[in-house]
Amino acid sequence: MRFLLILLLVLLAAWWWRQKKREKTAAPPTEQAPKAVPMVHCQTCGLHLPQTDAIASQGVYFCSTEHQQRVGP
């Protein structure tokens, strides 16, 4: 009986130690995903691209200066 009690205490201590260790090595908080960027399409070729990468001219978007020049100012 005494042996079972000692074994139980050892197992309980090992479980408690592993729980503490697991809490310390828990994954750090995940970084938030970047915000969504509005997508626009090129007036000339129809390519969809992020608005931050597009060239805007009079409320119309283009994927490159060449396509902007095709339409004219």
For residue 64, pLDDT beyond 80: yes
Please list, residue by residue across 6-36, b when 16 or more beta carbons sit within 10 angstroms of its beta carbon and e when fewer do: eeeeeeeeeeeeeeeeeeeeeeeeeeeeeee
Domains of the chain by residue range:
37-73
Question: What pTM value is reported for the model?
Answer: 0.52
% the chain with pLDDT above 90:
55
For 42-57, what is each residue's pLDDT tens digit?
999 999 999 999 999 8
CATH architecture of 37-73: 2-Layer Sandwich (3.30)
pLDDT of residue 26: 66
